[in-house]
């Protein structure tokens, strides 16, 4: 291919190339190849540019549904074909699994923070636990802690944020050998986590 392109742009002919065409045919042939080349470059460029406006997800052709928790007023998007499953006990939220891969799941939950007792034995409403670090900001502008744990068998991404005495959590979990495929999906959902006031 390089030799052919070199021939068309420089006009030089190598021994292994086809004999030169008549001058008139030679220029027509070059023009066709030049136009075809630019069209191909344009199509590849357009494909790259238009493909960058959405996250790379394992399931591109699936729509989205927003899960809303009415008790704690938080929400996050989920693929519409993911199925709800029971949450572990004592968690107010919802979990969803990928129907094509039941080992992959996302879940969101919230709980009231336990307030420490003040010196008189009463709970202090203004007391908050010390911040364990903030390294992530959601699209809504909420500061949060985003942790990624890569294990030998199972890996997960967890988003934790505290707001008005409530701790909000979101988690995406998959087998470790598939985590890199689901990471963009998990990161996108974590960034879209919202708390309504």
What's the pLDDT tens digit per position in 104-117?
Answer: 999 999 999 876 65
- Read off the pLDDT band of 127 (50, 70, 90): very low
Q: Answer whether residue 10 shows pLDDT above 70.
A: no
Residue 80: is its pLDDT beyond 80?
yes
At 128 the pLDDT is 44
Q: How many CB atoms lie within 10 A of CB 189?
A: 24
Pairwise CA distance, residues 121 & 110, whole Å = 26
CA distance 55 to 184: 7
**pLDDT category of residue 11 using cuts at 50, 70 and 90:** low
> What are the extents of the domains in the chain?
2-50, 64-195
Mean pLDDT taken over the chain: 79
Listed residue (82, 83, 98, 67) closest to 193, CA to CA: 67
Q: How confident is the model at residue 55 (pLDDT cuts 50, 70, 90)?
A: very low
Superfamily holding 64-195:
Mog1/PsbP, alpha/beta/alpha sandwich (3.40.1000.10)
The three state secondary structure string of the chain is CHHHHHHHHHCCCCCCCCCCCCHHHHHHHHHHHHHHHHHHHHHHHHHHHHCCCCCCCCCCCCCEEEEEECCCCEEEEEECCCEEECCCCCCEEEEEEECCEEEEEEEEEEEECCCCECCCCCECCCCCCCCCCCCEECCCCCEEEEEEEECCCEEEEEEEEEECCEEEEEEEEEEHHHHHHHHHHHHHHHHCCEECC
Dihedral angle over CA of 56, 57, 62, 68, nearest 10? -110
Per-residue pLDDT band at 102 (split at 50, 70, 90): very high
The dihedral over CA atoms of 165, 170, 176, 181, expressed in degrees to the nearest 10, equals -140
Q: What is the pLDDT of residues 149-193, one digit of tens each?
A: 999 999 999 999 999 999 999 999 999 999 999 999 999 999 999
């Amino acid at each position: 291919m390089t030799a052919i392109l070199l021939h068309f742009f420089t006009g030089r002919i190598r021994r292994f190339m086809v004999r030169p065409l008549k001058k008139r045919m030679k220029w027509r042939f070059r023009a066709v190849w030049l136009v075809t080349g630019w069209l191909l470059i344009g199509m590849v460029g357009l494909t790259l540019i238009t493909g960058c406006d959405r996250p790379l997800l394992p399931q591109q052709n699936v729509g989205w549904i927003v899960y809303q928790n009415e008790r704690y007023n938080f929400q996050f998007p989920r693929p519409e074909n993911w199925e709800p499953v029971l949450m572990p006990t004592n968690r107010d939220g919802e979990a969803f699994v990928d129907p094509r891969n039941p080992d992959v799941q996302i879940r969101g939950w919230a709980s009231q923070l336990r307030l420490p007792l003040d010196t008189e034995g009463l709970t202090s409403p203004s007391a908050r636990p010390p911040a364990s670090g903030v390294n992530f900001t959601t699209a809504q502008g909420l500061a949060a802690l985003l942790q990624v744990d890569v294990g030998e068998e199972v890996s997960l991404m967890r988003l934790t944020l505290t707001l008005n005495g409530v701790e909000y959590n979101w988690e995406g979990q998959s087998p470790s050998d598939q985590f890199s495929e689901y990471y963009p999906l998990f990161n996108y959902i974590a960034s879209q986590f919202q708390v309504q006031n």
